[in-house]
């Protein structure tokens, strides 16, 4: 492979990124070393700083450099609505695509006993505490429509009801602008079974 141990180490380190295999990692490493060392150094500094200083908000578990993130500390958010998501990526998608102005809780996963992800790993003790504070009236469950996501949603709905909070679930089904003939069978069946009165 390479006569340089440092280059081999860089390539192997880049492989930790999702979707990056050996060839992609090699291409990235060669690009940085051949053409963009200045940005490579900036990338290294930013990565080092983020790994050392970015943690999780003590209230919602989103990424934050402070003990309480800007979303939780902000006074312009509706404190009566809480949206539960699986990951910070899901939170960012909701923030960018919707007008939602409530609070969040990030599970950092979904219930999956085979992967060692139980209620404790998802921070459900902290979520239960927030639900029993009396401020939250509705909990929007925004887990992904996978088997594990649906099991997690069911568990979350039970937690909400036990805390006197109304659980709601994001709608799933035919996408806006989609045509029925191109929608997969599972999605179409779910949409048909979840139809609503107009």
Residue 1 has pLDDT above 60, yes or no: no
Same fold, 5-53 and 79-169: no
More confident residue, 176 or 57: 57
Query: What pLDDT, in 10s, does the model give residues 127-184?
Result: 999 999 989 999 999 999 888 999 999 999 999 999 999 999 988 877 778 787 887 8
Question: Residue 198's pLDDT band (boundaries 50, 70, 90)?
Answer: low
The pLDDT value recorded for residue 2 is: 59
Please compute Rg for the chain using Cα positions: 21
* CATH fold group of domain 79-169: Dna Topoisomerase Vi A Subunit; Chain: A, domain 2 (3.40.1360)
Residue 92 has pLDDT above 80, yes or no: yes
Interstrand relation of 63-64 and 102-106 (parallel, antiparallel or unpaired) = unpaired
Mean pLDDT of the chain: 91
Residue 66 has pLDDT above 80, yes or no: yes
Question: Residue 114's pLDDT band (boundaries 50, 70, 90)?
Answer: confident
d(CA 1, CA 5): 10
Cβ(166)–Cβ(173) below 8 Å: no
Q: In CATH, what is the architecture of 5-53?
A: Orthogonal Bundle (1.10)
Question: Among 91-95, 166-170, 190-194, which is the least confidently predicted range?
Answer: 190-194
Q: Where are the beta strands (DSSP E) in 6-137?
A: 55-56, 63-64, 78-85, 102-106
CA 126 to chain centre: 17
Q: What is the DSSP string of 114-159?
A: GGTB-TTTTTHHHHHHHHHTS---EEEEE--SSHHHHHHHHHHHHH
Residue 96: C-alpha distances to residues 57, 63, 145, 171, 173 (Å): 20, 16, 20, 18, 21
Mean pLDDT of 23-40: 93
More confident residue, 24 or 74: 24
Question: Domain-by-domain residue ranges, the chain?
Answer: 5-53, 79-169
């Amino acid at each position: 492979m390479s006569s340089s141990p440092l280059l081999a180490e860089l390539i192997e380190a880049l492989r930790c990124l999702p979707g990056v295999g050996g060839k992609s990692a090699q291409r990235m490493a060669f690009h940085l070393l051949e053409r963009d060392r200045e940005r490579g150094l900036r990338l290294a500094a930013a990565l080092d700083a983020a790994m050392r200083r970015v943690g999780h908000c003590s209230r919602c578990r989103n990424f934050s450099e402070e003990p309480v993130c800007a979303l939780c500390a902000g006074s312009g958010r509706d404190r009566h609505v809480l949206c539960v998501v699986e990951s910070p990526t899901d939170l960012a998608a909701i923030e960018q695509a919707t007008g939602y102005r409530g609070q969040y809780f990030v599970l950092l996963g979904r219930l999956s006993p085979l992967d060692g992800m139980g209620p404790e790993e998802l921070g459900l003790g902290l979520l239960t505490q927030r639900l029993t504070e009396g401020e939250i009236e509705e909990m929007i469950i925004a887990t992904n429509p996978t088997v594990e996501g649906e099991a997690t949603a069911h568990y979350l709905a039970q937690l909400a009801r036990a805390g006197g909070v109304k659980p709601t679930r994001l709608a799933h089904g035919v996408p806006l602008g989609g045509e029925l003939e191109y929608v997969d069978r599972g999605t179409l069946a779910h949409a048909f079974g979840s139809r609503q009165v107009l």
